[in-house]
Structure 1
Amino acid sequence: MQIIEIDNYAKEVHAGESVLYNWTLRNVDSGANLTIEIEVSIANEGWSADLSTSSVLLETDELTTITATVHAPLERGDLDSNLTVVFKVYEDGYLVQISSDSAYTEIIGAFASADKVLGYFENPLPDPLDNEWGVFLLDVIIWLAIAFGIAYVMDGVVAVTRRSASMLDDIILGIIRTPVLLLVFAYGVVQSLDALHKHIPLNLRDMVLTLYGVIIVFVIFYLAYKLFKQILVYYGKMIAKKTASKIDDVLIPVVEKVGVVVIGIAALGYALNALSIDLTMFVAGGIVISMVLAYAAQETISNFFSGIFLLLDRPFAEGDMIILSDGDWCDVRMIGLRTTRLYRFSDATMISLPNNKLVNEKIVRVSNVNDPARVNVDVGVGYGSNPNEVRTAIMKAIEASPYSLLTRDDRRPLILFDSMGDSALVFKVLCWINDNGKRIAARDKLVEEIYLKLNEAGIEIPFPQRVVHLKKEEN
Structure 2
Amino acid sequence: MNVDISQLTDSSLVGALTAGLLLAIFVVLSISLRLILAIISRRINKENSDRLILVFIDSIKGPVVLLVLSLGLLFAYLTLAKLEEGIFISLNDTGDYAFQIWKVSAIAIATFTVSHLTDRTIRWYLRNIAFKTSTTLDDTLLPIFRRVLPITVYAIGALIAIDSIGISISPILAGLGIGGLAVALAVQPTLSNFFAGTYVVTEGELKPGDFIELDGGPSGYVESVGWRSTKIRSRFNNLVIIPNSKMAESIVTNYFSPTPAMNVIVTCGVSYESDMEAVEKIALEEASELIENSPHSIKNVDPFFGFSNFGDSNIDFFIFIQAVDRNGTFVLKSELMKRIHARFTSEGIEINYPVRKLLLPEELDAGSVFTSQPEEN
TM value normalised by structure 1? 0.59
The one-letter code of the counterpart of 2:60 is I
Q: 1:140 to 1:175 in 2, by over 3 A?
A: farther
Q: Does 1:155 align with 2:155?
A: no
Does structure 2 conserve the Cα–Cα contact (< 8 Å) formed by 1:342 and 1:351? yes
Report the Cα offset of residue 279 of structure 1.
Answer: 1.8
- RMSD over aligned CA atoms reads 3.8
2:62, 2:374 → 1: CA distance? 91
Q: Does 1:386 align with 2:274?
A: yes
Q: Does 1:135 align with 2:18?
A: no
The one-letter code of the counterpart of 2:56 is I
Report the Cα offset of residue 436 of structure 1.
Answer: 3.9
Does structure 2 conserve the Cα–Cα contact (< 8 Å) formed by 1:400 and 1:449? no
Q: Does 1:440 align with 2:330?
A: yes
1:217, 1:339 → 2: CA distance? 39
The one-letter code of the counterpart of 1:221 is T
2:210, 2:352 → 1: CA distance? 36
Number of the residue aligned with 2:90: 199
The one of 274, 288, 294 equivalent to 2:164 is 274
The one-letter code of the counterpart of 1:241 is F
The one-letter code of the counterpart of 2:322 is I
Number of the residue aligned with 1:173: 57
Identity %, equivalent residues: 18
TM value normalised by structure 2? 0.72
The one-letter code of the counterpart of 1:253 is P
Q: 1:135 to 1:407 in 2, by over 3 A?
A: closer
2:56, 2:238 → 1: CA distance? 48
Instruction: Give the count of matched residue pairs.
Output: 337
Deviation string 1:214-254 (CA, Å, 9 cap, x unpaired) is 10111122222233333466347633332212222222333
Deviation string 1:108-140 (CA, Å, 9 cap, x unpaired) is xxxxxxxxxxxxxxxxx9995635366335523
Write the mapping of 1:296-445 to structure 2, written as runs, cut at 5 A: 296-326=186-216, 328-345=218-235, 347-368=236-257, 370=259, 373-379=262-268, 386=274, 388=276, 394-395=283-284, 397-401=286-290, 402=294, 403=296, 411-416=302-307, 418=309, 420=311, 425=314, 427-437=316-326, 438-445=328-335
2:99, 2:311 → 1: CA distance? 96
Number of the residue aligned with 1:210: 100
Number of the residue aligned with 1:249: 139
Identify, as 1 or 2, the structure richer in strand: 1
Q: Does 1:144 align with 2:28?
A: no
The one-letter code of the counterpart of 1:442 is L
2:163, 2:65 → 1: CA distance? 24
Deviation string 1:415-455 (CA, Å, 9 cap, x unpaired) is 5353535xx64734231225245223222322333444455
Does structure 2 conserve the Cα–Cα contact (< 8 Å) formed by 1:378 and 1:426? no
Q: 1:391 to 1:262 in 2, by over 3 A?
A: same
Unaligned runs of 5+ in 2: 82-87, 356-372
Q: 1:385 to 1:137 in 2, by over 3 A?
A: farther
Does structure 1 conserve the Cα–Cα contact (< 8 Å) formed by 2:354 and 2:374? no
1:407, 1:171 → 2: CA distance? 50
Higher relative contact order (CA 8 A, sep 6+): 2
1:199, 1:236 → 2: CA distance? 55
Q: 1:233 to 1:160 in 2, by over 3 A?
A: closer
Give the SS at the match of 1:162: helix
Give the SS at the match of 1:245: coil
Unaligned runs of 5+ in 1: 1-124, 469-475
Give the SS at the match of 2:134: coil
Q: 1:257 to 1:451 in 2, by over 3 A?
A: same
Write the mapping of 1:11-26 to structure 2, written as runs, cut at 5 A: none
1:210, 1:187 → 2: CA distance? 12
Number of the residue aligned with 1:31: none
Does structure 1 conserve the Cα–Cα contact (< 8 Å) formed by 2:231 and 2:240? yes
Larger Rg: 1
